[in-house]
Amino acid sequence: MPEVWRFTMRHCLWRNNTFSFLTPVSIKAHAAVILDSNTFVNNTFSVSRQHDVSWPDWPGLVLIRSSSPHLIVGNTGSGNSFPAISWLTGPPTTNAHIHVSDSLPLFAVSIYVPDSCHLTIDSGSVIKMRGSIGGTIRVEGTLEAHDAIFTSWMDNDHGANTDPEPIYGDQLLWGDKHAIEVTPSGSLSLNGCSMLYANYGIQVEGDATVNGCIFARNVGVLDFVGQGSRDYSVRNSVFRNNWKRAAILFDSDINEQSLTVSDCDLINNWRGVDLTTSSTLAPIHATIRRCNISGNVYDGIKVSPLDGGGDIDISRCLLMGNGDNGIFVQGPMAYSYFTTVTNSVIAGNGSLPLSLDYENGIDLMLGDAMLVNNTIAYNLGSGIRLLDELALTDSVVNTIIVGNHKEGILKGFTDLIGFAHNAIYDNGTTRELYFNTPNGGLTTVDEIQALGGDYATNYPLPPGFEPPVYSAAVEAVYDTLEHVTRVITDNVQFDTLVSVPALFYPDTSQSLLRRFYVDTVRADTIIVAGDATADVAPGSIFSIQGYHLSPTSPVIDMGGYTSRMGGFDIDGQPRVQDGDFDGNAVVDIGADELPADSAVAPLQVTRPVEGQLCLVGDTTTIEWSAPATDSVDLLYTVDYDSAAGVAVWMYIDTGVPADTPGYLWRIPAAWSPRCRVMVVDAADSSRHAMSAPFRIKGYVLTRLTDDSTYLPFLPYEDGWAIPNDSADMWPESWYRRFDYDTATDPFT
**Which pLDDT band holds residue 51 (cuts at 50, 70, 90)?**
very low
- The helix (run of H) or strand (run of E) holding residue 420 is strand 418-420
For residues 27-38, average pLDDT? 92
Distance CA 395, CA 383 (A): 15
Q: Which helix (H) or strand (E) holds 446?
A: helix 445-449
**Distance in angstroms (rounded) separating the CA atoms of residues 62 and 65:** 10
pLDDT value, residue 47: 57
Distances (CA, A) of 324 to 192, 302, 313, 321, 363: 31, 10, 20, 9, 10
608 versus 726: the higher-pLDDT residue is 608
Q: What pTM does this model have?
A: 0.80
Beta strands in 316-413 (DSSP E): 318-320, 327-329, 338-342, 345-347, 362-364, 368-372, 375-377, 384-386, 395-397, 400-402, 409-411
Q: Is 495 helix (H, G, I), strand (E, B) or coil?
A: helix
Give the rounded percent of residues in the chain with a pLDDT score beyond 70.
91
Q: What is the per-residue pLDDT across 87-141, written as a single tens digit (0 to 9) for each?
A: 988 888 889 999 999 999 999 988 999 998 999 999 999 999 987 566 799 999 9
Q: Give yes or no for residue 704 having a pLDDT over 80.
A: no
pLDDT at 54: 41
Q: How confident is the model at residue 233 (pLDDT cuts 50, 70, 90)?
A: very high
The residues spanned by each domain of the chain are 1-8+14-48+55-91, 105-163+172-218, 469-545, 604-697, 702-736
- The yes-or-no verdict on residue 382 having pLDDT over 50 is yes
Say if residue 279's pLDDT is above 80.
Answer: no
Beta-bridge mates of residue 436: 441
* pLDDT above 60 (res 49): no
At 215-225, the pLDDT tens digits run 999 998 999 99
Please tell me the class of the 604-697 domain: mainly beta
Q: Quote the pLDDT of residue 475.
A: 95
Supply the pLDDT for residue 66: 86
Q: Exposed e or buried b for every residue in 129-167, given b needs 16+ CB within 10 A?
A: bbbbebbbbbbbbbbbbbbbbbbbbbbeebbbebbbeeb
**Residues 426, 460: Cα–Cα separation, whole Å:** 8
Positive or negative: CA dihedral 727, 733, 734, 736 = positive
What mean pLDDT do residues 554-565 have? 84
User: What is the length of the chain?
Assistant: 748
DSSP, res 250: E
What integer is the mean pLDDT of 452-465? 94
Categorize the per-residue pLDDT at 673 as very low, low, confident or very high, splitting at 50, 70 and 90: confident
Contacts of 565 (CB under 8 A, 6+ apart): 342, 343, 372, 373, 397, 398, 559, 575, 587
Of the listed ranges 318-322, 364-368, 543-547, 631-635, the least confidently predicted one is 364-368
User: Is there a contact between 696 and 667 (Cβ–Cβ < 8 Å)?
Assistant: yes
List pLDDT tens digits, range 332-374. Answer: 654 678 999 999 999 999 987 776 678 999 999 888 899 999 9
Q: How far apart are CA 60 and CA 657, in angstroms?
A: 76
pLDDT at position 4 is 55
Question: Nearest Cα to 141, choosing from 88, 78, 185?
Answer: 185
Mean pLDDT is highest, among 15-29, 707-721, 725-739, for 15-29
pLDDT at 167: 40
Give residue-wise pLDDT tens across range 136-194: 999 999 999 999 999 988 888 888 766 554 444 446 788 878 899 999 999 999 999 99
Over the chain, what is the mean pLDDT? 87
Candidates 173, 183, 118; CA nearest to 150 is 173
Segment 50-66 shows an average pLDDT of 65
What does the pLDDT look like over 414-443, one tens digit per residue? Answer: 888 999 999 999 999 899 999 999 999 999
